[in-house]
Structure 1
Amino acid sequence: MSLSAPGDEQDWLAAYDPREYPPVAVTVDVVALTLRHGTLHVLLVERGTPPHLGRLALPGGFLRAGREDLATAAARELAEETGLTELPRVHLEQLGSYGAPDRDPRMHVVSVAHLAFAPDLPDPQAGSDAAAAAWHPVDTLDPAALAFDHARILADALDRARAKLEYTPLAAAFLGPDFTIPELRAVYESVWGDPLHPGNFHRKVLSVPGFLRPTGDTTPHGSPRGGPRARRYRLGDATRLHPPLLRPAPDGG
């Protein structure tokens, strides 16, 4: 039946019964990345309820249907399951959707995963249905320890994060409002997992228009080897890096 008038649509909606369709739930999961002691960490919770009781998982939970959008749900779940009620300077973006019919044993659950970059944050306090919450080094994490399909989500998030650092200024999201170029280089090295030549990196980042803006300040002291004090920078107005800062090739070339 074609709908030709507002009344027709109202009648159709009044007669619509969503129970005629198979139920599908929507959740959000958050891959929160930060640097702690110079090492890339991901935030994980220990599940306090079935399914996968006691296993590690990404912070997440069910969307409050009709009450919140996906970004709001992601921010809420990150706060609820960690006790971090204030998340200053956190970059949060949608990563992707995961909807395999068997990814959750309860029912068909579609998860919309989000990626978060944040400066060094304090140890979280588990809340909601999480038994514990902690930062885990990415490079020593066993993917098989993760519940659901969270190992795949984490792998996709790391790929996204590594690519983002090539063509956006989001590396600075891991740092404070101002920073030195060696501190910025340490972010790239930690996320990419590759050492970078200090001189080449310094030259490249300063050659990208709008990437960095000097604050006029320097560090209180020079390097331990007696070098000069390092200049401090803030982000400029660039939203994309051109030319990009390309990740070193696997063979080091």
Structure 2
Amino acid sequence: MSTHPPFAVAVDLAVFTVREGALVVLLVERGEEPFRGSWALPGGFVGVDEDAETAAWRELREETGVERFDGHLEQLRTYSAPDRDPRMRVVSIAHVALAPDLPEPAAGTDAADARWWVVEDLLEGDAGPESPELAFDHREILLDARERVRAKLEYTTLATEFVSEPFTLPELRRVYAAVWGTPPDLGNFRRKVLGTDGFVTPTAAIGSGDGRTGRPPLLYRRGPARTISPPMTRG
């Protein structure tokens, strides 16, 4: 008989997209104990025949109805505080995922509801009386995930994963404004994006004008570059 206490490995996902100019994250309302009725990041236990990434995509589909998408997914860090889950010792491998135009979620399995929440409202308490207290240590995970994305926008081309192709430079700049909370300086932004080889690739198409400049904007696609040097400075 084993002398070790019950132990499990789980995954949690901070899934981000940009909606109406704001960085939003996908949460589920827990339909079961512990923390029944509280909101949490989608996630669950890793099966004995799964790796962590497979479990992450499966839990996302089962809890929210959101299928695997062609966006960015990476491991954030491991959360292993002994008391983070009241059921038993649970170590969670948290992931960050992001993509443009993600669909409306639909609650499934043990989730009572699923919806997008504005990240700033959650973390700064600006969602009014409905602002939820996140279950487990998910506030800590969300804070870390937001900072990971904010930092990576400084030294990588990750911002292009938030926009659908083709896109305009103003659309790309709005991603930085949503994630950082303030837009980067316009002149520096244009010089960095257009001056970094492979950041974006111009297309032969043009977008519709915004009525202010009178000139329709050029359209771009993601380029092959993955890093920016020197980094882009937050506004």
TM-score tier, shorter chain, comes to over 0.9
Percent pairwise identity = 55
Could you list the runs of 5+ residues in structure 2 that have no partner in the other structure? 126-130
Q: Does the 8 Å contact 2:18/2:24 carry over to 1?
A: yes
Q: Does the 8 Å contact 2:184/2:234 carry over to 1?
A: no
What amino acid sits opposite 2:52 in the alignment? L
Distance in 1 of aligned mates of 2:187 and 2:211: 17
2:209 aligned to 204, 218, 222, which one? 222
Larger Rg: 1
- Give 2:91's aligned residue: 110
Could you list the runs of 5+ residues in structure 1 that have no partner in the other structure? 1-16, 249-253
Matched, 1:72 2:60: no
2:26 aligned to 14, 19, 43, which one? 43
Moved over 4 A (4+): none
SS in structure 2 at match of 1:153: helix
- Give 1:251's aligned residue: none
SS in structure 2 at match of 1:171: helix
Q: CA deviation at 1:243?
A: 2.5
Deviations 1:60-105 (A, max 9, x none): 000002x1100111111111110113x3322110000111111110
SS in structure 2 at match of 1:204: helix
Q: Does the 8 Å contact 2:28/2:115 carry over to 1?
A: yes
- Give 2:128's aligned residue: none
Q: CA deviation at 1:171?
A: 0.7
What amino acid sits opposite 1:119 in the alignment? P
Matched, 1:94 2:75: yes
SS in structure 2 at match of 1:44: strand
SS in structure 1 at match of 2:55: helix
Distance in 1 of aligned mates of 2:66 and 2:230: 37
Distance in 2 of aligned mates of 1:124 and 1:234: 27
Normalised TM-score (structure 2):
0.93
SS in structure 1 at match of 2:37: coil
Matched, 1:139 2:120: yes
- Give 1:5's aligned residue: none
1:1-253 superposed matches below 5 A? 19-65=2-48, 67-85=49-67, 87-141=68-122, 142=125, 145-219=133-207, 221-248=208-235
Q: Does the 8 Å contact 1:89/1:173 carry over to 2?
A: no
Distance in 1 of aligned mates of 2:197 and 2:189: 15
